[in-house]
């Protein structure tokens, strides 16, 4: 088996563009994934799904030196997938034409990418905490869609890393303002263990280099990590 290219203390994040005609990629999916793929009717959504899941299988196959199509995923208590027989943690996300996969060794990870909506779009502002909403209201109008998207991807990355997803009201989390380095500042009502404002183990939050028209973030539980961007 070759040396695993993802080392302790690193988180590798792959990004790719969704492939509209992706019949070959669908061959990598297992039976459950293929049923989901075939049930999707909108071509854009089909492209997002098959590209993200095929990318995940491809990079896991490369890291573990295994057949991507033969990988068998289990699900955690909140539905987060994992490999029972490999020490890798992973997360995937897709939005618009962009998909992302994050991998780490031993540290639970969550990644989220989102396309910035048009300035006239109605935004779900109730997901912001009171502190976030106060900062958001000071953002110039033309920059608000991008600012909101930054808040959202940071929150979603955290909730993916903990495995809870949107079962938790995002408004309970407060993250740093979009013009500040990514950080989880508070989690209202959470049993925070030894760290004020943090679950235990603590969350490390990082912004991803922005692709034009998108925002992205990755969160890991535990110690600091070096983010290694990769592309396909």
Give the model confidence (pLDDT) of 174-194 as tens digits.
999 999 999 999 998 876 544
Q: Which stretches of 97-225 are assigned E, i.e. beta strand?
A: 98-105, 109-115, 173-175, 184-187, 203-207, 214-221
Which tokens go with 225?
């990590």
pTM: 0.91
Give the model confidence (pLDDT) of 27-72 as tens digits.
999 999 999 999 999 999 999 999 999 999 999 999 999 999 999 9
Could you write out the DSSP letters of every residue in 72-131? --EE-TTS-EE-TTS-EEEEEEEETTEEEEEEEESS-EEEEEEEPPPTTSPP-GGGS-HH
Superfamily of domain 10-231, CATH level 4: 4'-phosphopantetheinyl transferase domain (3.90.470.20)
Kindly tell me if the per-residue pLDDT of 1 is higher than 80: no
């Amino acid at each position: 088996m070759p040396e695993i290219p993802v080392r302790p203390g690193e988180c590798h994040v792959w990004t790719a563009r969704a492939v509209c005609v992706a019949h070959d990629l669908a061959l990598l999916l297992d039976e459950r994934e293929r049923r989901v793929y075939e049930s999707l009717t909108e071509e854009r959504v089909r492209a997002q799904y098959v590209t993200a899941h095929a990318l995940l299988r491809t990079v896991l196959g490369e890291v573990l030196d295994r057949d991507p199509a033969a990988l068998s995923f289990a699900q955690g208590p909140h539905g987060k997938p994992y490999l029972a027989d490999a020490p890798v943690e992973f997360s995937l996300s897709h939005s618009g034409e962009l998909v992302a996969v994050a991998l780490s060794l031993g540290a639970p990870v969550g990644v989220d990418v989102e396309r910035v909506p048009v300035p006239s779009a109605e935004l779900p502002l109730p997901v912001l905490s009171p502190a976030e909403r106060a900062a958001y209201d000071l953002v110039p109008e033309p920059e608000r869609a991008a600012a909101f998207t930054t808040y959202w991807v940071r929150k979603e990355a955290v909730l993916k890393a903990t495995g809870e997803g949107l079962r938790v009201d995002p408004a309970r989390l407060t993250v740093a303002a979009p013009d500040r380095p990514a950080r989880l500042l508070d989690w209202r009502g959470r049993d925070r263990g030894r760290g004020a404002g943090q679950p235990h183990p603590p969350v490390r939050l990082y912004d991803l280099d922005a692709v034009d028209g998108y925002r992205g973030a990755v969160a890991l539980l535990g110690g600091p990590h070096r983010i290694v961007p990769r592309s396909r």
